[in-house]
Structures are given as C-alpha cells and as structure tokens.
Structure 1
Amino acid sequence: MNDRKAALKILLDIYENKAYANIALSKYFKNNSLEDTDRRFITQLVYGTVKSGDTLLWILRQYIKMPVSKVHPVIRTILRMGIYQLIYMDKVPVSAACNESVKLAKKYGHAGTVKFVNAVMRSIDRDRSRCDFAKAGNSTSYTALKYWHPEWLVNLFAAEFGMKQTEALCSFNNQDAPLSLRCNTLKTTAEQLMEYLAAKGTICERSHLCADAVICTKHPSLASMDFLENGMAIVQDESSMLVAHVMAPMPTDLIIDVCSAPGGKTTHIAALMKNKGRVIANDIHEHKLKLIEDNARRLGLDNIEIHVEDACNIGALYSKTADKVLADVPCSGFGVLRRKVDARWNKTKDEIEKLPQTQYKILESAAEAVKTGGIIVYSTCTILKRENGDVVNKFLAEHKDFKLESIDKFLPDRLRGRGDMLQLLPHIDKTDGFFIARMRRIV
C-alpha cells in the first residue's frame, strides 16, 4: 500500500468512524511495517489534513457548485488530502498532488468521480485567487480560515486575549510539537537519557522549564527505541511536569490524584516520593486504568494504588485524610491544541460552557479529602480564565478554610513573579498551555 492510500485509509477511519487521529495513526503503524520516511510523510499528511479541517472544505466550496456534503465521503477525503498537499505541502510537486489524487479516485470511485477530482485539482492549481481568505468577510473569519480554527473558537480567544494575541496563539497551535520526555529519576538521569537518545540518532536538549524533562526536536520512530518499555522515560509535556513539583510530594505522604489517567502526573509524583509513601490513583473511566498500571509497571513504581471512582465522590470517601490532593480536572484542552490535531474540531461551544461547573464540583470534592495543614493543587491544560482562575477564586471565596499559596519557589526562575497562580500561554511561553494553583487547608 502506498503512502497516500494509507493516509486515505486512516483519514476515513477518523472522519467516518470518529476515531481519534493519534490512535488511528498508531494503530496503522502498529499493524504495518514502514520505513521512517514513509511514516513521517503519512503522519504529516494525516495530521495536516485533520488539523486544517474546515479550511480545506472552504477552499473546496470555492471550486464546486454542489454542496460539499453531497460529495461522496471517500472522494471528499481524497480532495481534502489533495488540497492540503497542493496548498500547504511545499515539498510535494503540484503534479504529484494532482496525479496521485486522480489515481486514488480511479481506485475508489468511477469515471465520473475521476473527472471530478481531476477538474477540481487542476482548477485550484490554475486559479488560486479563489482561495483568498479575505473573501470570507470579517477578521474573525479570515483568522479562522488562515490558522485552521473553528470561527467560534477564534471569537472565544479574541474575547479573552484580543485579536493580535489570538492570531499569535492560533499560529503557534499549528506548529509541530517536539517530543517531550520525562526522565525516570528512579532508573537514570537526564544526562544519561540524553546520551542514550543521541546514540540512537536523536537531537535533544534539556528543558528550560523542568529539570526532569528532555526535549527531542528530531528522533527516529519511538517503536525503534526501547527507552519507553524499559522505563527510562515516559512521554509527558514539560509544562505538565511542573504540577508534581508544585505539589512537593514527600516520601511519607498520602497523596490522591482524583483524575489520574493516563498516569503521567501520578507516576511523576510517585517517583518524586522515591517510590515510597502512598499514592491513590483514581479515575472514573475503568478502561483507562490499564494505562496507569502499564506506566507504573514500566517505571518500576509500586507505591501506587489504582481505584475506579467518580472524582466528585472522593471527598466523602477520604474526608480529611490526605496530605496532598491533585485535582487535574477535565478541561477544554485548549493549551495543547498543537499536540492534539483533532481537538479543535471535536469540541463544541456548549460543551465548553458546561466545563467550569464540573471542574468546580471536582475541586470541592477533592478539597474535602485534604487534612488540616494539607495541600490541594488544581491544574488544567487549558488557557481560559473561566476554567482556571475563575474556578479557583470562586472556591476560595466559598471555602475560607483554604488559602492560596505562592508557587514561585517550586518554579524555574523564568516563570517566577507572575502571581500566586501560574498560567502558561503557548504563544508566549513556547510550550503547552497550562494552569496551576496550590492551596492549603488552614482549618
């Protein structure tokens, strides 16, 4: 199977079966042996086509008379792929983008659809003036199309950050994210991990945000390296590694992670405790618990207990028993859009508006489990004030037995002095967007 045919198969799984892009891609690679060059091309084509989403459909609308919804799903996906190659993949020759799209139409369509695909692709190549996003109208529509975001999301960002910052944010979201690894300090050091990676042909550097993190800008297929399976490291965003350090876990602590899966922060906390103490890893989704188990096993951690429970019940189950509690709550994920290529298109405005209520309930329940003098850390991987500072401030206003603590002493110098709550913004901090607040029970 050639690369474009493989990409088409994966994209159809995503579009027609609602598969997650990363899972669909990983499943294909797991079942098919490919050279690194083929894997990279397929990944770029799949992720780029998914990420550019409605922009590709808007371009297609400028060149056809029928509604896009009336185009057969397979042919529509072939055209999406073809347009992405034609407009956005500079290293793909125009002839290849057009001819390979026609070949796919011949395999999956009929004579009429072959002519249709050929006509559309040639028309776009001859006259790209119809692709001018300025035709869309206002600045919000233009920004949404140019930077591949839903218009409602651009409006949401603009209301929070202003249009200039929104453009910078959306542009950053389209960059390729480097591979971020957390060194397992129970088995190796960051320096030893970097030496191992370099020997495997990886270009990497130490993180400026977290001493445990190694950032890989170029690397072979992860499947070709054994450092994940042997527990030398785990894939984790460097900004999310700050959470465990802000918690400052001690080997004698009882710590509860109320929304634990897939276990990155849980295992980081457990490792900082030197594999001592007691960490309760809780999640409502039973099918995700194996992810925590597998990560703990690979990293050599046995101080983690795994439980299935609704986070909103944690307070009642563990009332005032924990030294520290982590409430890394479900969120919109708008701080990690460059890593999750389909997330911007899978969210809805209504869904986002309901999140703060759920987040507050979880925080309130989680706080009930903290003993007097203990700590609760609230964190998200989003950048919206309504999910972050607003939730924490509401909680503090209604729970006078807790007070906000400065987290400066737990942070690298470059992040200090921003106030008691930390908000990382992707386009400013050049990393994943993340929010962290630390509170202490005083009564």
Structure 2
Amino acid sequence: MNHDPRKLTYDIISEFEKNNGKLKLTRDQIINKADISNNDKFRITVCTNEVVKWRKKIDFYISINLKKSINKLDKRILNVLRIGYYEILFDAKIPIYASVDYWVQFTKIRFGRLKAGFCNAVLRKARKVKIDSNKNLKNLSIFFSYPEWLVQKWKNQFGIKKTVKLLKYFNLPPSYFIRIPKNKKINSSLEIYKNLKIENKESNFFRIKSGLRVILENDFFKKNNCSIQDRASGAVVEILNPKPGSMVLDVCAAPGTKANYISDYLNGEGEIHASDIDPIRMKMGVSRSECLSLNVNWSNKNATKDFFLKSDYIIVDAPCSGTGVLGKKLDIRWRRKKSDIKLFASLQLKILKNISKYLKNDGILVYATCSMENEENWDVVSQFLKFDNSFSIDSPVGLIPNEWINDKNCMQTIPYKHKVDGMFAARLVKNET
C-alpha cells in the first residue's frame, strides 16, 4: 500500500505537537510503517523539520491573518494551517494554488466541510508580514522563531550581537562530519571525498558539504567503519586522550559515538565500559558497537547512584538542555523550558559527585555537555571542584585547537564562530591525597 507523503507529514506534526516528544523518534515511528520511497522520506524529513523550526513565525503569520489569537483554534486544524503556511510562504517548490487545494481537500476528508471552508479562507489569506527584529525581544523571538525566554537568557549571557549570531546560525541547514578511524589510511582516497563534496582539513574528521545520504551509502564509508560525529563531539574524546592498556569508563554514553571513538585510542589494548540509564538507547549503543566490530562493554546503569569499576579515564557526557545543537535537534527549542536548566545542572552535579569516586589517582575525568548555558557548564564544574578539592583543572592545550579553549582552560566551542556544535568540556585530573 502506497502512502501519501503529505498526509504522513501531517500525522507526524500532529503526533509531535500532541505528545511534545522527540521529533525524530515520532517521525521514524510513522515513516517506518509506511510504504514510501527514499525521496519521499527525505521530503517528509525536510518538511517536518522546517515546520517545527519555524513554528513561532508561522503561528504569528496565521494569527495576523486571522486577526485573533490562535490559542483557541482546534489543534488539528492549526496543524493543517501550519503545514499549509509553510508550503505557501517558505517552500517555493509547491504552487500556492496547489497547496491550498490539497490541504482544503485533506481537511474536508478528515474533519468535514465546515473545517475545510475555514481552512480555505485562512490559507488564501496567507501572506508574510514585516517583523521589525530590532524593536524588542518579542519580535526577535518571532523573527528567528525561538522561545522568548531563551532569547532573553542568551541576551543576558552573551549580549545582543552574539545572541543574534546564534539565532541565525541555528536556523541554517546544519553541517555534518564523518569520522574515519584513526588507523585507516586516507590519503589515497581523497579523490573520493572530492567527488562526494567532502572537505578534508588534515584530520580524521571530514565536513560534509552536501549529499549525506549518498555518502552513507558509499562502499568506502561502509567498509571502513566510518561514523557520523560532529568535530566538537570528537574533541571531547581528544581531550580525554586515553592511552592503550587503560580502563575507560563512559557514562551517559548512548548511543555510543564517543565510546566508539575511544576504541581508536586504545587500539585493541585496554577496556571500555559504557553505560546509560535508558535501556532502549543502551541497546542502540550495543548495536552500533557491534556493527563497527568494536569491543565496548555496555550496561544499563544510573550514573547518579550506581557502582562502577575503578578507571584510569572517565567521560561524563552529561544529559543537558542541548542548546548547543539546536540546529540539528530542531524540536529542542520548543520542548525545553527555562526551569529545565536548573534541573539539568542539579542532575549533572549529582552525576559528577558519584562518578568521580571511581577514578583512580592521577586519572583523568572529562565532563562535557552540548549546552551553551553557563549554569550547566562552568558553574557545575566550579561547584564540583569546591565539593572535592582532590580534583583540579588540567589544561587541554595541545589536544584540541587553541581557539576552542576559553579563559577557564576548558573547551567551549561557539557554533557561529567555529562552525561546529556548541560543546563544553572540562578536563579534570585527580590528585593523590
């Protein structure tokens, strides 16, 4: 049975809005049950991503054309209008008349003639309205389509100019990196990278210019155990810099991207113990490690209270707000609340306090987040150092690019400046007491 991609798009948006879940998970659950082509899957992915990303701006246009608030609108009809407005105002590939006609007919079949007549009137009024983004924070949040609380928070933390740069950057199409195992010889294959539009910058990380799907299907990348991993995420492992023969602990590790990179450093000598509190994500980690033929020992554990093996190196890739990856995880901007920042910071400190007990003397612990928020980054590290004075900051100079190191001797990447995800990492050494 063939499925209509636009109907599936509606089902995904509707389910996402109803449950406030993860967009990718919702989309995968619906798409995987459908009989559609890869091109249709790609189109659905793009459309659902864009509708979610621009939701606030789209809702503003709808409310202006309605001349009233959308708060009392039937949510089912609001989602029809959101997709229709996206097609009409943001997607030049679909003729306006075709979009209006499709969604009116869709509404008539699903929700009846009365609702269809309403949609017809509102869709035909669709037009963009000038938004003065310099006027105030509310307009800025509408223009770039972010929650107002986050725009206000970033303005206080970074200043208005840097905030605008972040807002702009996270709305651009995201770039991805492919990591090639350190032991693979790559120079002889550079022609492949040129043909597939990949940039090589003297590293085992390659920025993908375009065509991610084509690259993932290429035999070279399948046969050489390559992984999708952001350059900044990889730098967290480079800061750890584990030596062959070591015992390495990776907590909150699923789906295992960093654990798999750690295996490159150990080169078959030593042990990697990875854990995660989520059994489903842990199984994903097991699957990835097995697919890459890597020896990673996975377990389902709670990093705030469970027991772990004494280790030479530990990575705490802490659960966080994810504000450093808003360009890739577009739903986060709507799923997060201001109060979440403090909740994450409290959880992160609990994890550090427990996990630090399992580091050997002279061992290295790297605490990392993909958050832009001070409360989750240096503030957590500072509180931990006061809690346990046997730990101190160890400089990552020589392990990562110098421009990624801040005045606290920690890694802090700035997405619009460094063209990577927003990552924070602190390298801590445990001194003998």
Answer whether TM exceeds 0.5 for this pair.
Answer: yes
Which sits farther off after the overlay, 212-221 or 224-233? Answer: 224-233
Asked if 2 retains the 8 angstrom alpha-carbon contact of 1:194 and 1:205, the reply is no
Counterpart in the other structure of 2:317: 328
- Check 1:193–1:58 CA distance in 2 against 1; reply closer, same or farther (3 A cut): farther
Q: 2:299: which partner in 1? A: 307
Encode CA deviations 1:404-432: one digit per residue, 9 max, x unaligned.
11101101355357551111111222211
2:404 corresponds, among 396, 415, 418, to 415
Which residue identity lines up with residue 137 of structure 2 in the other structure? T
1:301 and 1:160 map into 2 onto residues whose CA distance is: 41
How far residue 89 of structure 1 moved from its aligned partner, in angstroms, is 2.2
Q: Residue in 1 aligned with 2:44?
A: 42
Tell me if 1:151 matches 2:181.
no
- Identity among equivalent positions (%) equals 25
What are the Cα deviations for residues 94-146 of structure 1, in whole angstroms up to 9, with x where unaligned? Answer: 33332332232233232222221111111124xx4xx3334x99511011101
Letter in 1 for 2:198: C
* Structure 1 match to 2:254: 261
1:141 partnered with 2:133: no
* Structure-2 change in CA distance of 1:284 and 1:358 (3 Å): same
Q: Deviations 1:237-292 (Å, cap 9, x if unpaired)?
A: 21100011111111111111121111111111122211320111111122221111
**Shift in Å, 1:59:** 2.0
Q: Which moved more, 1:29-38 or 1:375-384?
A: 29-38
TM-score normalised by L of structure 2: 0.91
- Counterpart CA distance in 2 for 1:41 and 1:283 is 33
Give the conservation status (yes or no) of the 8 Å contact 2:368–2:423.
yes
Superposition RMSD in Å: 2.5
Q: 1:2 to 1:285 in 2, by over 3 A?
A: closer
1:168 pairs with one of 165, 168, 191: 165
The residue type paired with residue 54 of structure 1 is K
Alpha-carbon contact 2:255-2:282 (below 8 Å) kept: yes
Q: 1:30 offset after TM fit, Å?
A: 3.7
Q: Deviations over 1:134-171 (max 9, x none)?
A: 4x995110111011100111111111111221111011
Distance 1:220 1:39, change over 3 A: farther
Deviation at 1:31, TM superposition (A): 4.0
Residue identity matched to 1:133:
I
Q: CA deviation at 1:212?
A: 2.3
* Stretch of structure 1 that moved more, 142-151 or 37-46: 37-46
Match for residue 89 of structure 1? Answer: 91
Amino acid at match of 2:377: N
Contact kept, 8 Å, 2:303 with 2:351, in 1: the verdict is yes
Listed as ranges, the matches of 1:44-443 within 5 Å are: 44-64=46-66, 67-125=69-127, 128=128, 131-134=129-132, 139-185=136-182, 188-191=184-187, 202-206=196-200, 211-219=203-211, 221=213, 224-225=217-218, 232-302=225-295, 304-313=296-305, 317-318=308-309, 321-412=310-401, 414-415=403-404, 419-443=408-432
* 1:229 shift after superposition: 6.0
The 2-side partners of 1:293 and 1:230 are apart by: 19
Amino acid at match of 1:164: K
**How far apart, CA to CA, are the structure 2 residues paired with 1:438 and 1:417?**
12
Secondary structure of the structure 2 residue equivalent to 1:174 = coil
Q: 1:279 is paired with a residue of what secondary structure? A: strand
**Is the deviation greater in 235-244 or in 213-222?**
213-222
CA spacing shift, 1:194–1:145, aligned 2, 3 Å: farther
In structure 2, give the amino acid aligned to 1:80: R
Q: Structure 2: how far apart are the matches of 1:383 and 1:27?
A: 30
- Using the TM superposition, name which of 253-262 and 213-222 deviates more: 213-222
| Corresponding residue SS for 2:325 | coil
**Structure 2: distance between partners of 1:365 and 1:117:** 55
Q: Is the 8 A contact 2:20 2:335 kept in 1?
A: no
State the distance in 2 between where 1:227 and 1:419 align.
41
Q: CA deviation at 1:317?
A: 4.0
- Check conservation: 1:408, 1:415, Cα contact below 8 A: no
Where in structure 2 are there 5+ consecutive unaligned residues? Answer: none
Closer, same or farther: CA 294–254 of 1 in aligned 2, 3 Å: same
Q: Give the structure 2 partner of residue 21 of structure 1.
A: 23
The worse-fitting range, judged by mean Cα deviation, of 149-158 and 266-275 is 266-275
Question: Residues 77 and 227 (structure 1 numbering): CA distance in 2 closer, same or farther, change over 3 Å?
Answer: farther
Decide which moves more: 386-395 or 145-154.
Answer: 386-395
Letter matched to residue 11 of structure 2: K
Residues matched between the structures, number? 429
Structure 2 residue identity aligned to 1:262: P
- Structure-2 separation of matches of 1:83 and 1:99: 13
